């Protein structure tokens, strides 16, 4: 049983995860998105621990059981992969990536819990900031000084880097903003059930 726990499959589709949940297979589901993303839609039974707050050693100590693989998801998969890599770094190999994350779960039309949130989704916040700063930089380059063209150049390069690597520094920064910290959870129970 120890070997089975330490070497589960590397990933699982959302349809297979749904099947496992339906048949009552014990599954520990870790959601590493932001509180706002979690509040907008999450899989029933998922436990929220945002990636930037995830201490893998502490998480493993607080588990009820060590027999169950940890199924990890985020919005599309990039943050979940980083979380799994963090678990591997401390010697734990019992994580399973939920392929496609919440995007795939929602695309498949599967059941979610939702909470009202007055905050825009993180990627829309990124688009607004980048769009506003790029337009402002371009306008300033045309009207004031051509060197202001560096602003949209830097922002475009950042988007290119995010697209190629799956890491968006602006999204990480925005996720830490106060308006993105309260996910609409009045109590901690909604994030752990």
Q: Which residues are catalytic?
A: 74
How far is 82 from 138, CA to CA, in rounded Å? 35
Cβ–Cβ under 8 Å, residues 73 and 43: yes
Report yes or no: 118 and 46 within 8 Å, Cβ to Cβ: no
Give me 185's structure tokens: 């959870």
* Beta carbons of 44 and 112 less than 8 angstroms apart: yes
57-66 contacts, C-beta under 8 A, 24 or more apart: 57/90, 59/30, 60/87, 60/90, 60/92, 63/28, 65/26, 65/28, 66/5
Q: Which two tokens stand for residue 177?
A: 């903003």
């Amino acid at each position: 049983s120890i070997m089975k726990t330490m070497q589960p499959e590397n990933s699982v589709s959302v349809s297979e995860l749904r099947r496992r949940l339906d048949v009552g297979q014990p599954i520990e589901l870790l959601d590493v998105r932001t509180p706002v993303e979690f509040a907008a839609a999450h899989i029933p039974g998922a436990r929220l621990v945002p990636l930037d707050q995830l201490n893998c050693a502490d998480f493993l100590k607080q588990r009820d059981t060590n027999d169950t693989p940890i199924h990890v998801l985020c919005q599309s998969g990039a943050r979940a992969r980083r979380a799994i890599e963090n678990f591997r770094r401390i010697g734990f190999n019992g994580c399973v990536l939920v392929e496609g994350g919440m995007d795939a779960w929602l695309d498949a039309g599967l059941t979610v819990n939702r909470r009202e949130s007055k905050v825009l989704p993180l990627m829309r916040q990124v688009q607004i900031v980048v769009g506003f700063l790029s337009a402002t930089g371009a306008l300033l380059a045309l009207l004031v000084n051509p060197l202001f063209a560096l602003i949209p150049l830097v922002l475009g390069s950042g988007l290119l880097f995010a697209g190629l690597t799956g890491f968006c520094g602006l999204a990480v920064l925005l996720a830490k903003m106060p308006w993105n910290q309260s996910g609409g959870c009045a109590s901690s129970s909604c994030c752990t059930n």
